[in-house]
Amino acid sequence: MSSSRQHNGKGAKTRLMSEMKELDKEKWVNIDVVNDNILRWRVGLIVVNPESAFNGGYFKAEMTFTDEYPYEPPTFRFLIPIYHPNIYPDGKLCISILHTPGEDIMSGEQASERWTPLQGVESVLRSVLLLLDDPEINSPANVDAGVMFRDDRFAYNKRAAEIVEKSKKDVPEGFIMPTTLVDAPPPKVVDDDAAFWDESDEELDFGGSDTGDDEDMADFDEDGEDEDGASEDEESPA
């Protein structure tokens, strides 16, 4: 084992604690550790997407990690039955990001699609949410669900809505389910100085005219003659 992977999984635990701290700031996931074991997470994955068939769902799942994390991927398994083309009956997923690093000639998966140490828990969870919203039906884990999604979207959405309602029973007491992931904008701050000068500009009117030369020109008609009929070009008598 290389030096970066030794110390009995200390590196894995340190990284996981850091990742959990960051995920605690997110609205769409609720995480607890199982029996104070940082290598075993209980996850509440929340779908906040009006266009998703599973919108409003609170889906309990479990993630487990080894001392080799992040060099080896975690496992992910839903703890409630979800009727979905890419979810097996036992709750496990058919998703590339959870597969061990490297290319797989048999499946045709590229290394970039599979797990790498640069990935993290957030990458996995976001990938799962995307999969819930947009199933991959070309290689389904649940063939019946794949066929229903393809041929009878109304029935599929109805089935998904029923699962969403059942999932809400798992929302922890006191936990507030988000309805949007966008924070409300802060209240607009009024600039008192700017408001003062805006009002002053409206009130300061000194009665001046931008056409002050009009009175001077009033003595001349259009032909350049004054009221007495004298032209500007005519010389005054000596």
Contact in structure between 151 and 162 (CB atoms under 8 Å): no
Place 106 in a pLDDT band, splitting at 50, 70 and 90.
Answer: low
How much of the chain exceeds pLDDT 90, in percent? Answer: 62
Query: Considering only CA atoms, which of 189, 219, 8, 43 is closest in space to residue 121?
Result: 43
Place 50 in a pLDDT band, splitting at 50, 70 and 90.
Answer: very high
- 69-84 burial, b for 16+ CB within 10 Å, e for fewer? bbbbbbebbbeeebbb
Does residue 110 have a pLDDT over 80? no
- The pLDDT of residue 218 is 46
Of 25-39, 111-125, 186-200, the range with the lowest mean pLDDT is 186-200
User: What residues does each domain of the chain span?
Assistant: 3-170
Per-residue pLDDT tens over the stretch 122-167: 999 999 999 999 999 988 999 999 999 999 999 999 999 999 999 9
- Active-site residue, selected from the candidate residues 39, 48, 80, 94: 94
Distance (Å, rounded) from C-alpha 113 to C-alpha 29? 23
* Catalytic residue list contains 232: no
Rounded mean pLDDT, 172-180 = 92
Architecture of domain 3-170: Roll (3.10)
Instruction: Choose between 200 and 4: higher pLDDT.
Output: 200
Rounded mean pLDDT, 42-65 = 97
Query: Considering only CA atoms, which of 46, 47, 44, 77 is closest in space to residue 60?
Result: 44
Distance (Å, rounded) from C-alpha 43 to C-alpha 24? 11
15 secondary structure, DSSP code: H
Helices (H) then strands (E): counts for the chain: 6, 4
Per-residue pLDDT tens over the stretch 55-79: 999 999 999 999 999 999 999 999 9
- The pLDDT of residue 3 is 46
- The pLDDT of residue 84 is 97
What distance lies between CA 164 and its chain's CA centroid?
21
Distance (Å, rounded) from C-alpha 179 to C-alpha 48? 6
Place 210 in a pLDDT band, splitting at 50, 70 and 90.
Answer: low
Query: Considering only CA atoms, which of 17, 162, 175 is closest in space to residue 81?
Result: 162
pTM of the prediction? 0.72
- The pLDDT of residue 8 is 55
Contacts of 51 (CB under 8 A, 6+ apart): 133
3-state secondary structure (DSSP) of residue 87: strand
